[in-house]
Structure 1
């Protein structure tokens, strides 16, 4: 069962669900991230990612 859309994960944590993730702060971006991959930094800093849609 997939995690709900809107689930968040921080840089350095394992991705809980494959999908398109969006940075919650400005400047924002989206990235496809696969389940179990490590959530990446953005613009050289740790960020919080939010699941936008399933892959």
Structure 2
């Protein structure tokens, strides 16, 4: 079962769903991240990522 669009995950957690993820704070970016990969930092900082669309 897919996680809903808008699901969040923090740097260091395992990605719960493959798709395009967006950083929730400014400055923001998007990145394709595969399920079970570790959520990355952004600009050397721990951030919260939000699922924007499915892969």
TM-score, normalization: structure 1?
Answer: 0.99
Superposition misfits of 4+ residues, deviation over 6 angstroms = none
> How many residue pairs align between the two structures?
55
Q: Unpaired segments of 5 or more residues in structure 1? A: none
Q: Unpaired segments of 5 or more residues in structure 2? A: none
Deviation at 1:16, TM superposition (A): 0.1
CA separation in 2, counterparts of 1:27 and 1:43?
A: 9
Deviation at 1:34, TM superposition (A): 0.1
Aligned to 1:37: 37
TM-score, normalization: structure 2?
Answer: 0.99
